[in-house]
Amino acid sequence: MKFCSRCGATVSLEIPQGDDRERAVCRECGEIHYQNPRVIVGCLPVHENRILLCRRAIEPRHGFWTLPAGFMENGESTAEGAARETWEEAAAQAEDLALYRLFDIPQINQIYVFYRCGIADGEFGVGSESLESQLFDEADIPWGELAFPVVKVLLEEYFEDRKTATFPIRQSVIRHPRR
């Protein structure tokens, strides 16, 4: 951030009084700009034991397969955001959402929240951010064409959990080596 969103003046990085980390502070109006992690919400939609995946029509990872997910919007719950993203990307109405997976990825300032869900009437299609969507049996998942590591981890865990029909809520931190 270079300019204050309140008055337009240049900001500088400094540690405000009573704080313990650098923030963008406006020297003109005194506004402190807090930059917090982005929350990505999504679903693991299941219909007749098959997983609904979408082929991305946007960057990053254009053309690769992923679960329907995206940035949470102000004014919605994580479940509402996950259902919205499922509709936007796969034209599928998510139902019976159950919290399933949390990933913290500190170096890119993101938090991922995924819900397991069904697909109302088994109907789905293609949203504006997808090239196509498709239901996959476990054996047919395009493992080498998955867009993001968290999707691979989530799918592997889901297929293991499905063997016992026990779906615990998991949380983990993914740390990549600093470059």
Q: Over the stretch 19-35, which tens digit does the pLDDT of each residue have?
A: 999 999 999 999 999 98
SS3 104: strand
What distance in Å separates the CA atoms of residue 129 and residue 134, rounded to the nearest whole number? 14
What are the tens digits of pLDDT across the range 32-87?
A: 999 899 999 999 999 999 999 999 999 999 999 999 999 999 999 999 999 999 99
Distance CA 13, CA 31 (A): 12
Question: What is the per-residue pLDDT for 72?
Answer: 97
Domain 1-35, second-level architecture: Single Sheet (2.20)
Residue 53 near residue 136, CB atoms below 8 Å:
yes
- Within the chain, all domains assigned CATH 2.20.70.10 are found at 1-35
Query: Given its phi and psi angles, is residue 48 left (phi above 0), alpha (psi -120 to 50 degrees) or beta?
Result: left
Residue that has been written with the tokens 């615990």 in this structure: 168
Ranges in the chain annotated CATH 3.90.79.10? 38-173
Whether 119 shows a pLDDT value over 70: the answer reads: yes
Q: Which pLDDT score is estimated for 179?
A: 53
Write out the two tokens for 90: 């796969």
pLDDT averaged over the chain? Answer: 96
Residue 75's pLDDT is 97
| Count of residues in the chain | 179
- Could you tell me which CATH number the domain at 38-173 has? 3.90.79.10
Strand partners, 94: 119
Cα dihedral sign, 171-80-45-53: negative
175 pLDDT tier (thresholds 50, 70, 90):
confident
Say if CB 61 and CB 135 are below 8 A apart: no
Q: What is the pLDDT of residue 57?
A: 97
Residue 107 has pLDDT above 60, yes or no: yes
**Mean pLDDT, residues 117-140 taken together:** 97
Please give the model's pTM, rounded to 2 decimal places.
0.89
